[in-house]
Chains A and B, each alone.
Chain A
Amino acid sequence: GAVVSQHPSWVICKSGTSVKIECRSLDFQATTMFWYRQFPKQSLMLMATSNEGSKATYEQGVEKDKFLINHASLTLSTLTVTSAHPEDSSFYICSASAWIYGYTFGSGTRLTVV
């Protein structure tokens, strides 16, 4: 079946630094990749949609200069949280989409900014 690998699983960083999260589809090529953010006891909020080789499309209210998304290949997308602050602390989940597999989710990254 389809597998999506997301790294790191958790990260702690200092306020003002940048953090990169990777999302890889291991055994299939993803047409589209999605990035979600989830605060404690809340639902998943879609942040952005990315297609290989093109700029990401951000949802309303999501700062594209703060959350940089790069989709360099059909199997890899990265989310970089720039100049992180404590309010960026959250659970980030990626999802890769392919017609035959539907949506496959990564294991998530718990980001804590101190």
Chain B
Amino acid sequence: ELKVEQNPLFLSMQEGKNYTIYCNYSTTSDRLYWYRQDPGKSLESLFVLLSNGAVKQEGRLMASLDTKARLSTLHITAAVHDLSATYFCAVNYGGATNKLIFGTGTLLAVQP
């Protein structure tokens, strides 16, 4: 059974600071996703990482993937209040169904 864990579960940080969210998964997968969720809303796609060593950046967010370590990171640079949300990683669980299994989530609160 695939397990996806995120660390930390809650992150309070000041504007302008940097921080990293970690996503560990337990079995081999060929792709990893990062999503953002605002309160009461559905998911907004941030990144899709398809191969070992993949790195993608959009604004103040940068995601990377190490398939050998089964680890993905989401790095936040110079945080701003607008980044406050819950962030989920999700791993494609292969086979015929291609299920997407979500991590535990990280609630990010950026304080002014």
Contact = CB atoms under 8 A, between A and B. Distances in A.
Max chain A C-beta neighbours (<10 A), residue from B100, B102, B104: B100
Interface in B84-112: 88, 97-105, 107
A57 interface: yes
Interface residues of B, number: 18
A32 B103 contact: no
Interface of A: 6, 32, 34, 36, 41-46, 49, 57, 93, 95, 97, 102-103, 105-108, 110
Contacts of B99: 34, 46, 49
Given A105-B42, A108-B41, A57 B97 contact: yes
B69 interface: no
Contacts of A41: 107
A103 B100 contact: yes
A36 B42 CA distance: 11
A43 B105 contact: yes
Given A107-B42, A108-B41, A44 B88 contact: yes
